[in-house]
Amino acid sequence: MFADQLAEHVRQRGNPVLVGLDPRASMLPAGLLQGGAAAPPARQAEAYRRFCFGVIDVVGPLVPAVKPQMAFFEQLGPAGMIVLAEVVRHAQSRGMLVILDGKRNDIGTTASAYAEGLLGRESPWGADAATVSPYLGADSLDPFVEVAQARGAGIFVLVKTSNPGGGMLQDVVADGRTVYRRVAEYVERLAERTAGGSGYGLVGGVVGATYPEQLAELREAMPHAWFLVPGFGSQGGTAHDVAAAFDPRGGGAIVNNSRGIIFAHARAPYAERFGAARWQEAIEAATRDMIDELRGQTPAGRLTGG
């Protein structure tokens, strides 16, 4: 079961860092892609493959999971989609869990098709988990839950996202409760119903680091749900901001960092220490620094690493 697998991976690595794979042609280290964003899609896709494999090879021994952002691969058409599938398999071959970030959903048989295509290692995409939007209602989530349960996979439902504009819908009050709180209560029911030995269910929530007060509120409201916490690093979230996402043992949450890790070679202090030529060393240093931050400033310090 995904929730228990995730708990074990986090325990073994001794940290909750989730590395987002968001390759962008204009930000790749020099030498990986001649022509940048003007290069043909097939050439960009090959550069993304080399880059993401290089990231995975560095972070694989350090962190429990990666999160490929599907849009950056889909942007390149068929060549990008083929590379995305290769990236998923490569990460899993390095002992990592893979969460595909596509925020999919629809109703009826379309939702079922998304779920069957994405979830479980026997599926075409082979994802251990995927992100899902809840805004078509309960009947749009049920197919994802059913497929995840049958295949030992997981889903992360958007609850309170990290972007500034998310409040337009998520913070609306209806019948005395915010929309995000209503979604959270539904996610918690599904998580409790599917809870495994770790105490967490296969349905988790996406809850942003940029709203620490709501993060604390939602941790209390969703005791059986794993949290996927975006917004750390480049979006302004800090270790202090995400501390409330964890349970008292340091479990229950994985904290995503995408640009702040994979493009560390281009930002201080790593640019000065490593530069583009040593981009993998910059990634390793940034990952280790994030691990140390979370261990030092959150309950994640109570995890015992393998």
* Beta carbons of 246 and 252 less than 8 angstroms apart: yes
Output the CA–CA distances (angstroms, integers) from residue 284 to 28, 175, 213, 288, in the order listed: 16, 48, 31, 6
From 135, 138, 140, 178, select the one nearest 158 (Cα to Cα).
135
Structure tokens at 97: 């869990």
| CA atoms of 37 and 264, how far apart (whole Å) | 20
Number of alpha helices (DSSP H) and beta strands (DSSP E) in the chain = 13, 10
Q: End-to-end CA distance of the chain, in Å?
A: 20
* Beta carbons of 73 and 81 less than 8 angstroms apart: yes
The catalytic residue positions are 103
From 291, 292, 285, 293, select the one nearest 268 (Cα to Cα).
285
Angle at 18 between CA 242 and CA 55, to 5 degrees: 140
Angle at 166 between CA 204 and CA 264, to 5 degrees: 75
Helix crossing, 212-221 with 179-193: angle to 10°? 40
| CA atoms of 27 and 37, how far apart (whole Å) | 9
